[in-house]
A and B are shown apart, each in its own frame.
Chain A
Amino acid sequence: MIKFVPQLINLFATLILMLSFAMISQRRIVSLINLFMLQGAALVAASILLGYATHQPDLYVSAGLTLVLKVILIPWLLHRVIRQLNVRWDVETLINIPTTMLVGIGLVIFSFSLALPISRLSSSMAGGSLGIALACVLLSFMMMITRSKAVPQVIGFLSMENGLIFAATTVTSGMPMIVEFGIALDVLVGVLILGVFMFQIREKFDSLDIHNLEKLKED
Chain B
Amino acid sequence: MPALFFVLGIPLLGSLVLAVTGHRDVARNVNVGFSFGTFVAACFLTAQIIADGPTLVWDQQFFIDPLNVFLVTLTAFVGLTTSIFSRPYMRVEQDKGKMTPPRMRLYHGMYQLFSFTMLLALTTNNLGILWVAMEAATLTTVLLVSVYRTAASLEAAWKYFILCGVGIAQALFGTVLLYMAAEKVLGPQGATLLWTNLDAIKLQLDPAIVTLAFAFLFIGYGAKVGMVPLHSWLPDAHAEGPTPVSAVLSGLLLNVAMYAVLRCKVLTDGALQTPLAGQLMMGFGLLSVVVASFFLSRQKDVKRMFSYSSIEHMGLITFAFGMGGPIANFAGLLHMTVHSLIKSAIFFTVGHATQKAGTQIMSEIRGLIKVNPTVGWGLMLGVMAILGMPPFGVFASEFLILTTAMREQPWATPFLFIALGVAFASMLVRVLPMVFGETSLKPLAHPPALLPVFVHLGLGLMLGLYIPAYLNTWFVQAARMLGG
Contacts and interface: CB of A to CB of B under 8 A. Distances in A.
Q: When A and B assemble into the complex, do they touch directly, with CB atoms less than 8 Å apart?
A: yes
Interface of A: 56, 114, 117-118, 121-123, 134, 137, 141, 144, 150, 153, 157, 160-161, 164, 167-168, 171-173, 175-179, 182-183, 185-186, 189-190, 193-194, 197, 200-201, 204-205, 210, 212-216, 218-219
B176 A213 contact: no
Given A176-B190, A197-B161, 8 more contacts: A121-B184, A144-B162, A157-B169, A185-B132, A200-B154, A204-B154, A213-B158, A216-B239
20 contacts: A121-B209, A144-B162, A144-B166, A157-B166, A161-B169, A164-B176, A167-B173, A171-B176, A173-B188, A179-B132, A183-B132, A183-B135, A185-B132, A186-B132, A186-B139, A194-B161, A205-B151, A212-B155, A216-B240, A219-B298
Contacts of A157: 162, 165-166, 169
A188 to B, nearest CB: 10
B304 to A, nearest CB: 9
Contacts of A56: 188
Contacts of B172: 164, 183
A179 B183 CA distance: 15
B158 A201 contact: yes
Chain B contact residues: helix, strand, loop or mixed: helix
Q: Is the interface of A mostly helix, strand, loop or mixed?
A: helix
Contacts of A121: 184, 206, 208-209
A48 B134 CA distance: 29
Contacts, number: 128
B15 to A, nearest CB: 13
Contacts of B136: 186, 189
B155 A164 contact: no
Contacts of A171: 176-177, 180
A8 B190 CA distance: 28
Given A121-B208, A153-B162, A172 B176 contact: yes
A205 B149 CA distance: 12
A175 B154 contact: no
B157 interface: yes
Contact of A216 (B155, B173, B176, B183): B155
Nearest to B150: A204
Nearest to B184: A123
B107 to A, nearest CB: 15
A189 B126 CA distance: 21
B236 interface: yes
Interface residues of B, number: 50
A213 B212 CA distance: 34
Closest 9 CB pairs of A and B: A179-B128, A182-B132, A176-B190, A213-B155, A186-B135, A168-B176, A204-B151, A172-B180, A216-B236
B156 to A, nearest CB: 6
A190 B128 contact: no
A141 B230 CA distance: 14
Contact of B154 (A167, A183, A213, A218): A213
Contact of B190 (A173, A178, A189): A178
Contacts of B295: 218
B368 interface: no
A205 B158 CA distance: 14
Interface string B391-423: 000000000000000000000000000000000
Contacts of B250: none
Contacts of B6: none
Nearest to B132: A182
A154 to B, nearest CB: 9
Contacts of B212: 114, 118
A14 B321 CA distance: 42
B318 interface: no
Nearest to B157: A197
Given A176-B193, A179-B193, A118 B169 contact: no
Interface in B147-193: 149-152, 154-159, 161-162, 165-166, 169-170, 172-173, 176-177, 179-180, 183-184, 188-190, 192-193
